[in-house]
């Protein structure tokens, strides 16, 4: 079997993802490091609400670098948290490395936008549906036409 595309081109794929996320987050995100911190906060926030099998299933549909970020420093024995309100989830995502974090209020929407543009929609929908309606709502992109969310060919 040949090496998966996502492994061979992981840096190119991740740079494209960060560019999309940074573009949606706006001018406040001056560097890829800031965008990385914001995305990491969103992934950790989402992961805290999942069981280990759900984390693995979600990770299986992500590009390779995002998959690695999802499981980095993961406490697999942690009890999943309830989803809560969108505002609570945003504040939680913003709390990562709070002394070095200027994550904008649209952090989840911007990360979701980039995620949909870099994942196979059929697989992502299947996994989110299996996790539940809160997961579907977490990764919903509001106000963007489906045509703008099509998976990008990099």
Task: Give average pLDDT by consecutive 10-residue segment, the chain, 154 residues.
Answer: 79 95 83 91 98 98 97 96 96 82 87 97 98 98 87 80
CA distances from 87 to 95, 105, 119 (A): 12, 9, 25
Residue 99: its pLDDT value, please? 66
* pTM flag (> 0.85): yes
Class of domain 9-149: mainly alpha
CA neighbor of 97 nearest in space, from 73, 81, 80, 115: 73
**Domain ranges, ordered by start, for the chain:** 9-149
């Amino acid at each position: 079997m040949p090496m998966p595309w996502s492994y061979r081109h992981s840096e190119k794929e991740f740079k494209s993802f960060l560019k999309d996320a940074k573009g949606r987050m706006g001018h406040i995100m001056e560097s890829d490091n800031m965008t990385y911190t914001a995305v990491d906060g969103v992934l950790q926030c989402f992961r805290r609400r999942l069981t280990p099998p759900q984390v693995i299933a979600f990770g299986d549909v992500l590009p390779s670098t995002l998959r690695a970020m999802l499981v980095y420093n993961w406490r697999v024995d942690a009890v999943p948290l309830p989803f809560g309100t969108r505002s609570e989830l945003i504040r939680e995502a913003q709390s990562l490395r709070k002394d070095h974090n200027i994550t904008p209020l649209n952090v989840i929407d911007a990360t979701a936008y980039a995620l949909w543009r870099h994942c196979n929609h059929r697989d992502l929908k299947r996994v989110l549906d299996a996790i539940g309606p809160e997961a579907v709502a977490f990764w919903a992109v509001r106000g963007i036409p489906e045509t703008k969310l099509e998976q990008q060919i990099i």
